[in-house]
Chains A and B, each alone.
Chain A
Amino acid sequence: KQEVTQIPAALSVPEGENLVLNCSFTDSAIYNLQWFRQDPGKGLTSLLLIQSSQREQTSGRLNASLDKSSGRSTLYIAASQPGDSATYLCAGGGFQGAQKLVFGQGTRLTINP
C-alpha cells in the first residue's frame, strides 16, 4: 500500500520567514505530485503540480520540488504572510498506474503577525 506522509502535523512561524513543508512517499514510481491548500471549512485549492519528468514548479512565492529517488517533495514558501495560514496537503498520483491520488494528512501552518 502506498503511503504519503507529512511531517510536522502543525507548524507555527513568525511573519516574514521562509519555510519548507515536507512530504514523503513510499513508492518512487509516481506520475506526479500535487500540493494543495485548504482553509477551514473550505475545499482544497490546487497550488502546484509536478509531473514525474519535472524537478520543480514555481508559482509566485511558492516553489515545489520533487525527488523521486529519495521519495520526497518539498513546498517552499518565501516571505510568509498571515494569509498563508492554512492546512497544506500533498498527494502522489499514478502509483502502479492507478488514476487515483494518495493524500498525506496535511501540515497545519500558522503565520503569526
Chain B
Amino acid sequence: NAGVTQTPKFQVLKTGQSMTLQCAQDMNHNSMYWYRQDPGMGLRLIYYSASEGTTDKGEVPNGYNVSRLNKREFSLRLESAAPSQTSVYFCASKFSPLAGFTGELFFGEGSRLTVL
C-alpha cells in the first residue's frame, strides 16, 4: 500500500545544477501537487495538476517546471538550482471528481534538497 512515493529522499546540489524530483501515486487520484516547506514559511504550493494533461502555477513557481507524465506521475524540475531552493519538497495527491467537491489530500514522505 505505497500511497504517494517520492524520489530521491535526499539530494545535495551545487548552484546551477539541474535535477528532477519524481512523484508517483497508486490511488488513481486525478489531482497532484508539489509543495515546499521552509521554517517560518509553512507549506507553499509550487505547482499543481488538477487532472492529467493540465498544470497550473501555485504560490511560488519561479525557478521550477513540472510535467504530468501520466495519471500516476508528476515530476518537479529545477533547471538551475539556487541556494534559495534549499527546502523540503512534498508531493501530494487527491481525488477531485466534481466541481465543489474535493477529497482527502495525501502526502509523500518528502525530498530534502540542499543547494550549496
Contacts and interface: CB of A to CB of B under 8 A. Distances in A.
Contacts of B106: 46
Interface stretch (A14-22, A60-68, A73-81, A93-101): A93-101
A34 B102 CA distance: 11
B42 A31 contact: no
Interface residues of A, number: 23
Contact of A97 (B31, B42, B99, B109): B99
A42 B42 contact: no
What does DSSP make chain B's interface, helix, strand, loop or mixed? loop
A44 B99 CA distance: 25
Contacts of A93: 102, 105
Nearest to A91: B105
A99 B100 contact: no
Tell me the interface secondary structure of chain A in the complex.
Answer: strand
A32 interface: yes
Counting chain B CB atoms within 10 Å of each CB, the highest count among A31, A32, A100 belongs to: A100
A43 B109 contact: yes
A89 B109 contact: no
Given A43-B90, A103-B43, A97 B100 contact: yes
A23 interface: no
Contacts of A43: 90, 107-110
B48 A44 contact: no
B113 interface: no
Interface in B19-48: 31, 33, 42-43, 45, 48
A56 B45 CA distance: 27
A46 B105 contact: yes
